[in-house]
Amino acid sequence: MSDSDLEKTGNKGGKEENQAQREMSEELQTVAKNLEPQQPLESGRSEQLNPINDTGGGPGSGQKPKKIKPKVFTGPNPFQALAEDEEGIAGIQAQVEKERKRTLQERFGEILEGKFDQFPSAKFETELKGADSLTIIKAGQPGELNLHIIVSWTEDGEKKNRTFSLTEDGKMIPDTSARSAWKALSKVGQKTGKDGEKTGGITKELLLDEVLRIAEKVNPRFFVSISGPILRPGERELQEGGDSTKIPKVETENPLVDPRKVDLLVGHPSSLCGFFNEEEGLDGYWGVVYPHCIVLSSPAINNAAYMFVFSELGLPDIDVTGVDFNLRPEMRMIDKQKRDEILKTYWERSLGSLNKTEARKLTGRGVIRKFHSGDWQGNITKAINKVEKRVK
C-alpha cells in the first residue's frame, strides 16, 4: 500500500472515530438530560448547562468546548418514574380500599338492608381471629331498628367484650368511646412478628364483613318470627335437662350457633321457609319447612334435631304448585298469605302443640331424631333427602 493510500485510510479512520465520539457524546447528553428534572432553573433560565459539553472528541482534541442547548427529551425520568410508581402504588391501594368499602356497602344492601326486623338473634360462632363469639341482637322499635353486635374474647384469662350498634344505613357505631372501643378490638388476635411488626386485630371493616358473612348464611329473609315456644320442654326434660342421659353432658356457657348448620337446612334444595321464636331467636329451637316435613334444630349440646314427617303423622303434604325450587330459598315462598297459612296449619294448630317429651314418644312413628354429634350434617341431609325424594 502506498503512502498516499495510508494517508487516505488514516484520514478516513480519524473521521469515523470523530463521528463515533460525537454520536456517543450525544447519547450521553440524552442520558444526562434524562436524569435531570425537566423544570426551569430557580434563576428563571429555561436553559440548563449540560454536564457533558465537549462536542469535539474530549480533552486534547484541540477543539474549544461549546455550551449547547440541551435537546428536549420526552422519555421517562427514572427518578421521576420511581416517585410516580410509589404514588401509583399508594393510589392503587387507596382505590382497592375504596372498592372494598363500596363492596361492603353493596353487600350490606343485598343481605341486611331493610331486613333487621326478620333477623333471628343469636350468639354465633365467629371466624374473627382471637374472638370467642359474635352475638347479634335486634334492638329498638320498628322503623328504628338497630342490630347490637357484641364481640367477646378472652385476654389474659379474662373474659372481655365490646358492643356496637349496626344502623340501618350500614354504620358500625360503638356503644362506648369510639376510640377506646376500636383500640380494644385492634388488639384482639394481634400477633407480633420477629421483626416487631404487629399483625392481626379486628377493624371496623372486618367486623362488618363478619356480620355480613353470618347474615348471608342465616338468610334473615327466609325466616318468620312466631309467638310461643318451639318444642317446649316436657316433664322428662325438666327432670333430666336434655334429650338423653346416654349422651355425656358437656358443661358449656350458652352454646354457640354455627351459621354453617343453619345454612345447611335453609339452603336445602327443597326448603320453603323458616320460623323462630322471637324471644329465643336461633339460641333455642327453630324450624325449617319442607314440602313433606318440618325439621327443628337447636344449638344446645344435648339437644337433637327433630324431623316431623307429615304423611306418617296424618298430615297432607304441602301443595307446592307454582313454587320454583330453582330460586334462592328466600324467594320460593314469597306469597306471605300462603306462607302464614302453612305455618298455622302445620305448626301452630298441629305439631306446635307437642312438647319435647311427647315428640320423643313418637320417634319411629313419624318423628326422626338426629343428635348433634359425629357427622350430623351428613346424617340430617340424608334424612331430609330420603323424605323429600319426590321433590325435584
Count Cβ atoms within 10 A of the Cβ of residue 375 and give its class: 0-12 exposed, 13-18 middle, 19 or more buried.
Answer: exposed
Give the per-residue pLDDT at 70.
Answer: 54
What confidence category does residue 43 fall into, taking pLDDT thresholds of 50, 70 and 90?
Answer: very low
Do 247 and 285 lie in one domain? The reply is yes
Residue type, 231: L
Lowest mean pLDDT among 105-119, 239-253, 321-335: 239-253
- The answer to the question of residue 83 being in a domain is no
Would you give the distance in Å from CA 87 to the centre of its chain?
A: 28
Q: Provide the grid cell at 119.
A: 333477623
Residue tagged 300462603 (cell numbers): 338
Q: In what order do the strands lie in the sheet with 223-226?
A: 223-226, 273-277, 281-289, 293-297, 304-309, 367-371
Task: Say whether both 335 and 383 belong to one domain.
Answer: yes
- Categorize the per-residue pLDDT at 345 as very low, low, confident or very high, splitting at 50, 70 and 90: very high
How much of the chain exceeds pLDDT 70, in percent?
A: 68
One domain, residues 323 and 378: yes
Residue 294, pLDDT score: 98
- Identity of the highest mean pLDDT range in 42-56, 81-95, 246-260, 326-340: 326-340
pLDDT, position 98: 63
Can you tell me the distance from the alpha carbon of 83 to that of 255, in angstroms, rounded to the nearest whole number? 54
Instruction: Clarify whether residues 224 and 155 are in a common domain.
Output: no
In terms of Cα–Cα distance, which of 314, 102, 367 is closest to 208? 102
Q: Tell me, what's the pLDDT at 67?
A: 57
Predicted confidence (pLDDT) at residue 234 exceeds the cutoff of 60: yes
Does the pLDDT at position 269 exceed 60? yes
d(CA 126, CA 173): 20
Quickly state the pLDDT bin for 389 (edges 50, 70, 90): confident
Whole-angstrom Cα distance, residue 329 to residue 288? 11
Stretch 210-223: mean pLDDT, rounded? 96
Residue that finishes a domain, picked among 216, 250, 265: 216
Domain presence at residue 89: no
Asked whether residue 333 falls in the same domain as residue 229, the answer is: yes
CA 31 to the chain's CA centroid:
50
318 or 85, which is more confident: 318
Structural domain includes residue 94: no
* Mean pLDDT, range 60-73, rounded to an integer: 55
Domain assignment of residue 330, yes or no:
yes
Domain assignment present for residue 143? The answer is yes
CA distance 16 to 62: 17
Q: What three-state secondary structure class fits 134?
A: strand
Distance CA 253, CA 134 (A): 14
pLDDT in tens, 155-187: 999 999 999 999 999 999 999 888 899 999 999
- What does the pLDDT read at residue 344? 95
Cα dihedral angle (243, 249, 255, 261), rounded to 10 degrees?
A: -60
Q: Are residues 157 and 231 in the same domain?
A: no
Domain of residue 303, residue span? 219-387
Asked whether residue 6 carries a pLDDT value surpassing 50, the answer given is: no
Residue that has been written with the C-alpha cell 320423643 in this structure: 360
Instruction: Reply yes or no on whether the pLDDT at 87 is more than 70.
Output: no
Q: What pLDDT shows up at residue 248?
A: 38
Average pLDDT in the chain: 80
Q: How far apart are CA 154 and CA 161, in angstroms?
A: 8
Residues 270 and 353 in one domain: yes
- Ordered DSSP codes for 57-82: SSTTSSPPP---PPPP--SPPHHHHH
